[in-house]
């Protein structure tokens, strides 16, 4: 295969659609998020090499304030080009559903609540194992919090955190030598496989995930609020051989509807 065509296929194949868990303080109406940064990934099921890449993300969040409760639904799409010390590496697709987050004001700028999310990462590594598919599928119940610190009349600092406590996790079996040509499976077969054989997991027991950051929010002249910041995420699974995911991103969030008082 010609190298330019191969690189194009790799880039298109690593598009990932994720649950769009928002670390921003809950807003109102529809908001657009753009993030860019560094991603690091390891999959010990085929080689355990560290893969690095540049990650770009677009997301949509919709927030509702009702009876002093902040409800949020989110979805986003990412694209990352991954490589390791041997060159371009894995093809990565992450399929996911909506997340739902609920936060309540606890006083003194603190908001506490929970988050429910579904995420399914599906990927291949053409250089090391072109015969198998790999995936991490999770359905999680998390605790969420956000601490808001007013800086002045225009700016507010926010420190959010999201940590899954319990959930269900699906991973490929460790011994897969008898299963070949998995990429030739139909889409329906692949979706069925990456959503099967779930195991119940708890924080620190075969699964760990934490996401946090630091953000600044200000109101613009058009009465819309813009949010700027940095977020970091660490995820590790170990139902079969271990996977590790680390992302560092700079983010901007802009409302598509006017801020409601």
Q: What is the pLDDT of residue 177?
A: 57
pLDDT at 98: 77
Helix (H, G, I), strand (E, B) or coil at 109: coil
Contact by Cβ (8 Å): 120, 94: yes
Q: By three-state DSSP, how is residue 47 classified?
A: coil
Cα dihedral 201, 56, 45, 186, rounded to 10, equals 90
Domains of the chain by residue range = 3-255
The reply to whether the predicted model has a pTM over 0.75 is: yes
Q: What integer pLDDT is reported at residue 120 of this predicted model?
A: 80
Element holding 11 (H helix, E strand)? helix 3-13
pLDDT in tens, the chain (261 residues): 444 433 343 333 333 433 345 555 567 789 999 999 998 988 887 677 888 888 888 888 999 988 889 999 998 777 777 888 877 766 565 556 679 999 999 999 999 999 999 888 777 666 666 677 778 889 999 999 999 999 998 999 999 999 999 999 998 877 665 555 666 667 788 788 888 889 999 988 888 999 999 999 998 887 788 999 999 999 998 765 688 889 899 999 999 876 555
Looking at domain 3-255, which CATH architecture does it have? Answer: Beta Barrel (2.40)
pLDDT for res 176: 62
Q: Which pLDDT does position 181 carry in this prediction?
A: 62
CA R_g for the chain = 19
Closest of 104, 23, 28, 25 to residue 261, by C-alpha: 28
């Amino acid at each position: 295969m010609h190298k330019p065509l191969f690189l194009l296929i790799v880039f298109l194949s690593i598009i990932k659609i994720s649950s769009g868990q928002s670390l921003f303080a809950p807003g109102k109406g529809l908001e657009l998020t753009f993030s860019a940064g560094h991603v690091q990934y390891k999959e010990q099921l085929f080689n355990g090499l560290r893969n690095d890449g540049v990650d770009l993300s677009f997301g949509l969040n919709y927030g509702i304030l009702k009876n002093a409760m902040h409800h949020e639904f989110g979805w986003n799409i990412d694209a990352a080009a991954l490589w390791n010390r041997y060159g371009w590496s894995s093809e990565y697709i992450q399929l996911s559903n909506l997340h739902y987050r609920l936060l309540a004001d606890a006083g003194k700028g603190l908001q506490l609540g929970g988050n429910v999310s579904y995420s399914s990462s599906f990927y291949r590594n053409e250089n090391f194992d072109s015969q198998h598919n790999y995936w991490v599928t999770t359905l999680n119940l998390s605790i969420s919090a956000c601490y808001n610190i007013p800086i002045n009349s225009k700016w507010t600092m926010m420190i959010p955190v999201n940590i899954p406590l319990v959930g269900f996790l699906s991973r490929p079996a460790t011994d897969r030598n008898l299963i070949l040509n998995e990429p030739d499976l139909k889409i329906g077969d692949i979706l069925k496989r990456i959503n099967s054989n779930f195991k119940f997991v708890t924080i620190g027991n075969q699964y760990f995930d934490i996401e946090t950051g630091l953000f600044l929010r200000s109101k613009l002249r058009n009465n819309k609020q813009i949010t700027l910041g940095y977020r970091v995420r660490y995820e590790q699974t170990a139902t079969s051989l271990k996977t590790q995911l680390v992302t560092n991103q700079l983010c901007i969030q802009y409302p598509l509807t006017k801020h409601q008082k």
